[in-house]
Amino acid sequence: MENYVPMHECRVHKISIIVNRTHAILHSIAILFLIHYRLSFFFQHPPNITIPTLPWLLIFVSELLLCLAWLLKQFYRWRPVYRTVFPERLPADDKLPAIDVFICTADPNKEPSVEVMNTVISAMALDYPPEKLHVYVSDDAGSDATLRCTKEVWNFARYWVPFCRKYGLVTACPDVYFSSSEDGFKGSSEFKAERKKMEEKYEILKQRIRRIVQENHTDVPVNNKLDHSSIIEVINEYHKEKDEVKIPILVYVSREKRPSHHHNFKAGALNVLLRVSAMISNSPYILVLDCDMHCNDPTSARQAMCYHCDPQTSQFIAFVQFPQTFRNISEDDIYDSQLRFVFKIQWHGFDGAGGPTISGTNFYIKREALLGSFSKQQDLMALKRSFGPSNDFIKTLVEDYKPCFIKDGESSRMLLEHANVLASCSYEDQTTWGTKVGFLYFCVLEDYFTGFTLHRKGWKSVYLYPKRPQFLGISTTNFNETSIQWTRWVSGLTSVTISRFCPLICGPLKMSLVHLMCYLEVACMPLLCCLSVWGFALIPQLCLFNGIPLYPKISDSNFNIFSIIFISAISKSLYDIVTTGDQFRVWKNEWRIWMVRSVTCYTYGSLDAILNKLGIKEASFLPTNKVTDDEQVKLYEMGIFDFRAATMFLAPLVVVILVNFAAFVGAVFKALVVDDNGDRYWEKMFGQMFLSFYILVSNYVIIEGMIIRKDKASIPLSATLWSVVFSVFILLIGSAILC
């Protein structure tokens, strides 16, 4: 190790640490004063208590929950780290380990085939030895159209991959490349001629894909997406010509699905890919991609290998996580689709604590971390009890196993039959797949739970955030689909929170306390936020409506406590915006969408998980609809909310606005007209009036959607009328109970 040269470096941002820790200490002191103020109420002499106890207790609980959510976030801010890699220090290509690429698609009606196939093409064009790269397309719908499109893509890739390597293209996705200004060898007539030919081939490919999809819509489907047999095809074997330039093999996999067997969503599909790929290539490392997340930079594999191939880190690094970045984000980003806080702040702090959790896509994971390492002396029956009855698959678990699936360009029919058995829906029965090995099935968020389990076992992970996005995807750009997506995420996280696998209960085996708290924050955040925000959105307003003060008078020194906490929180979030290079409107949009999600997605997702825990409702997984609508995209780019969403998402928003509006207007009326001594009323009720006013101003787009806008994307009159009924009910019943 004397000549050891590191392939990567990790640096700690000292200024961020100083600012974060100083703010945490000062803000915590203010919170302690707030708790003292609230608690002192309960120790007053009974004759001196003029405020009902119940609303005081409820707002105190809401404040405690919000403070707890804030406290958990500080563990991310404790030690954020930033990483740099040196791919030029990697060993020679012939010494690099092989990589399997898993691309998952679930519904061709919601995931445009052109986008999916662009992801496949970009993965095949990664800057990596082609003989060590194997691309697997998992089609959970068992669609004949997807299989036919995959074959068309392989034919196109025979020309596209050599073209990318010959001219060193940094954009390997053809759809993005031909729509951008990247010209490469601008002065080369040869390049321009080849580029034009490639563009023509790509246009032909798109036409063929669209024709296949259209035919699939008109024809009677061969397979039911919830009831079909397994299909595995190695696309390369159908081509008999000998190509001058090697390209990665491409494999289509559709696992068997039957209504009588639970298919375990995406985790189930990934585990099938783990088994099938073991028979074909058995690469020690795996790249997992969503079907709409193309490889934007072909060097991502080499960057990840800087950790997996480094002798000082390779033994304990389970996966290298890249951020999710999107190419359809508008400047305003009204729905916070870019997940700025998560990938620009939170995951850097997660990395400093011991490594981020798996983020669904864009990660290079070690196969051994998912399956374990075994020797030839391992008890065969014990392995079969864990991994299933296939002797051929058991052989792949042995460290020195070399697959012999492809030989002289022809696939082994016998092993292909075995691979189909591995993709059957009954293969995992009476095994530990999804419980101890592979991607875990406990909740719909297999990434969070699998990452947490790996870290508890002692594995580490790293977070790479290069200047150039390594992967670019398509994000949801309308309110309805964004809400559905977040509700699904929240349901998975809350199911962990209320289970025996909650990080607080499960406890660390080989994790630090800070790392454990980071996991706890991710799991508990939705539940804490929805409960606290609902408290702040209704309790002070009901008391304001009835003239009951819950906050100190302006002249009271205790009023400074609430002012300091509010200003401190606002200032720190603005500081984060500035340090990440974003603008003020990003801060405004993030605060608004946080409040919106707290009373909608966080609430429904948490409720869904609780009902599932009680056995009242089964867990469900709805793929996000990635089919773009020109009108919706136009509204999104203009920064205009599209309220064409389910009433269940609109009603809570309108109810909160109506209750706050009624309370604020009523308070102003009392202060100006009814109360003879208006100054004292303003002084007594200012805190609650300001809170209602802040909620109304921050969510002006909802008021606009209810009253001002008359377009198709405004809030429907029916949703508003139903919300009026609920608001009146809350004002009457809530006032009777609390006051």
Q: Return the CATH number at 439.
A: 3.90.550.10
Q: Which amino acid is at 490?
A: V
Q: Round to whole Å and give the CA distance between 431 and 714.
A: 51
140 is in an annotated binding site: yes
Regarding whether 517 and 446 lie in a shared domain, the answer is no
Q: Is residue 65 part of a domain?
A: no
Buried b (16+ CB within 10 A) or exposed e, 568-601: ebeebeeebbeeeebeeebbebbbbbbbbbbbbb
Q: Is residue 283 part of a domain?
A: yes
> Residue 354: left if φ>0, alpha if ψ -120 to 50, beta else—which one?
left
84: helix, coil or strand?
strand
Regarding whether 514 and 438 lie in a shared domain, the answer is no
- State the catalytic residue, choosing from 127, 139, 140, 297: 140
110 is in an annotated binding site: yes
Regarding whether 537 and 441 lie in a shared domain, the answer is no
pLDDT at site 543: 94
642 is in an annotated binding site: no
Regarding whether 522 and 409 lie in a shared domain, the answer is no
pLDDT at site 241: 53
Q: Is 447 a catalytic residue?
A: yes
Regarding whether 537 and 428 lie in a shared domain, the answer is no
250: helix, coil or strand?
strand
Residue with tokens 């392995």: 383
Q: Is 93 a catalytic residue?
A: no
The β-bridge partners of 365 are 286, 319
Q: Round to whole Å and give the CA distance between 376 and 26.
A: 58
Q: Which two tokens stand for residue 733?
A: 């019943």
Q: Is residue 442 part of a domain?
A: yes
Q: Is residue 404 part of a domain?
A: yes
Regarding whether 362 and 297 lie in a shared domain, the answer is yes
pLDDT at site 629: 73
- Phi, psi (rounded to 5 degrees) for 275: -75, -45
pLDDT at site 737: 85
The CB density around residue 63, as the number of other CB atoms within 10 Å, is 19
Regarding whether 297 and 167 lie in a shared domain, the answer is yes
Q: What is the CA radius of gyration of the chain?
A: 28
Q: Is residue 717 part of a domain?
A: yes
Question: In this structure, are residues 339 and 476 in contact, taking their beta carbons and an 8 Å threshold?
Answer: no
Q: Round to whole Å and give the CA distance between 652 and 644.
A: 15
The β-bridge partners of 9 are 84
Angle in degrees, CA 699, 705, 707, rounded to 5: 105
pLDDT at site 521: 95
Regarding whether 517 and 402 lie in a shared domain, the answer is no
The distance of Cα 120 from the centroid of its chain, to the nearest Å, equals 21
8: helix, coil or strand?
strand
Which residues span the domain enclosing 568? 503-738
- State the catalytic residue, choosing from 127, 297, 447, 608: 447
Last residue of a domain, one of 426, 461, 476: 476
Q: Which amino acid is at 472?
A: L
Q: Is residue 460 part of a domain?
A: yes
Give the E-state strand segments of 344-448 in sequence order.
Answer: 363-366, 406-407, 410-411
pLDDT at site 87: 95
Question: In this structure, are residues 426 and 261 in contact, taking their beta carbons and an 8 Å threshold?
Answer: yes
Q: Round to whole Å and give the CA distance between 58 and 62.
A: 6
Axis crossing angle, helix 513-545 with helix 678-698, rounded to the nearest 10:
130
What single DSSP character describes residue 130?
G
Q: Is residue 485 part of a domain?
A: no
The pTM assigned to this predicted structure is 0.92
Q: Which amino acid is at 638?
A: M
In the chain, DSSP finds a helix count (H) and a strand count (E) of: 26, 15
Domains of the chain: total:
2
266 is in an annotated binding site: yes
For the chain of 739 residues, list the mean pLDDT of each consecutive stretch of 10: 80 92 96 96 71 92 96 94 95 94 89 93 95 95 92 94 91 90 67 91 95 77 75 73 74 92 90 94 95 94 96 93 92 90 95 94 96 81 90 84 60 78 92 94 87 94 95 90 92 92 83 93 95 96 93 93 96 92 89 95 94 76 62 89 92 96 92 66 91 96 92 92 93 84
DSSP 170-208: S---HHHHHTS---SSTT-HHHHHHHHHHHHHHHHHHHH
498: helix, coil or strand?
coil
pLDDT at site 183: 59
Give me the count of residues in the chain: 739
227 is in an annotated binding site: no
Q: Is residue 145 part of a domain?
A: yes
pLDDT at site 13: 85
Angle in degrees, CA 273, 274, 280, rounded to 5: 80
Regarding whether 463 and 519 lie in a shared domain, the answer is no
Regarding whether 335 and 258 lie in a shared domain, the answer is yes
